[in-house]
Amino acid sequence: PTQDRVFNFAAGPATLPENVLRKAESELYNWRGAGMSVMEMSHRGKEFMSIIQKAESDLRKLLGISDDYAVLFLQGGATTQFASIPLNICKPEDPVDYIVTGSWGDKAFKEATKYCKPKVIWSGKSDKYTGIPEFNDLDQNPEARYLHICANETIHGVEFKDYPTPKNKSGLLVADMSSNFCSKPVDVSKFGIIYAGAQKNVGPSGVTIVIVRKDLIGDAQEMTPVMLDYKIHADNNSLYNTPPCYGIYMCGLVFEDLLAQGGLVEVEKKNIKKAQILYDAIDESNGFYRSPVEKSVRSLMNVPFTLDKAELEAEFVKEAGKEKMIQLKGHRSVGGMRASIYNAMPLAGVDNLVAFMKDFQARHG
């Protein structure tokens, strides 16, 4: 990055592409001749309409989203979706299956208990959330309304590389993709609902993206608040009330940037390369650094690691900070370190981190 920027390894809000920030800066006071910033525009004016429509169509291009799906730009974070999903597609008595591979899947499950009858059919908790189940061994309820997964557990660094086939009668798979959204191609047609908070890979916090199959819309539980009802938002093209306009604009700039990079096939290649460099550094450190996660399901986005000498972890984070590599402290629930290396983390950031890790080991190993 430029001299005055750090390498920000935060899990979210997270680093954004520098060219996107520069573009936003260049049109901050006067968006493309409108004489005002995007923050000041009416959400129903023609300027903002063009922004949200372009953001949606670019996202559709990126993920190959068909017309069978609605794309909603909502608020309330992925956390609100933990409730919205059962409210929109379940009756209170409906059974639902949850695979819990980390803290986020667990939170989604707990929230759903208020609005339907969810069951944890697999939990990685006893293994400290370091793995993903064998799909064939899953005891799915054929009566379940949907099967829920968290595609990438941000805190534990566990990522589904493939998806289980839902064996419930409606064949519905629902995925929280908050922390690996748009990091690789996804076959959207395998899912009933995909949802993601924007603040990791595609924009600032405040925008939540929901991709929902249209036939699932319109049967919400009666008590569903209007703001959580997919039908309200779908019928109004995400403009039922004032949307997070500036955040949607920023997401749009990121989508343009991802398309300009060649789309998600190219983006994934870069992400694989960055993750490989970092995991190799961990694996080749003779146990000085350790990754707790099963190799086959290690996340390309969030890389937790520990130090063999745990007493040096605080020193590691402190020294890295002096070298302009920040937010490397692991989540308070798991300790250790975590490097989040989302789309916008440049290869140079990972190279710098690995060089620092080697140097730190040479001094303290």
Given the rule CB under 6 A, which residues bind ligand PLP? 12, 77-79, 104, 150, 154, 176, 178-179, 197
Which residue among the candidates 94, 104, 106, 274 is catalytic per the annotation? Answer: 104
- Supply the minimum distance, in Å, between the C-beta of residue 110 and ligand PLP: 13
Nearest residue to ligand PLP, by Cβ distance, number only = 77
For the question of residue 176 being annotated catalytic, the response is yes
Q: How far is the CB of 315 from ligand PLP (least distance, A)?
A: 27
Identify the active-site residue in 117, 184, 200, 329.
200
Question: Catalytic: 200?
Answer: yes
Cβ closest to ligand PLP, residue 158 vs residue 253 = 158
Q: How far is the CB of 178 from ligand PLP (least distance, A)?
A: 4
Q: Which is nearer to ligand PLP, 124 or 197 (CB)?
A: 197
Q: Is 31 a catalytic residue?
A: no
Instruction: Write down the least CB distance from residue 179 to ligand PLP, Å.
Output: 4
Nearer to ligand PLP, 179 or 306 (CB): 179
Which of 293, 275, 270 has the alpha carbon at shortest distance from 353? 275
In the complex with ligand PLP, the residue whose CB is nearer, 154 or 224, is 154
Q: Which is nearer to ligand PLP, 12 or 349 (CB)?
A: 12
CB closer to ligand PLP, 84 vs 179 = 179
User: Least separation, in Å, of the C-beta of 137 and ligand PLP?
Assistant: 24
Crossing angle for the helix pair 46-63 and 245-260, to the nearest 10 degrees: 40
* Closest CB 13 distance from ligand PLP, rounded Å: 9
- The catalytic residue among 176, 257, 274, 329 is 176
**Nearest Cα residue to 342 out of 208, 196, 211:** 196
Which residues have a catalytic role annotated?
Answer: 104, 176, 200
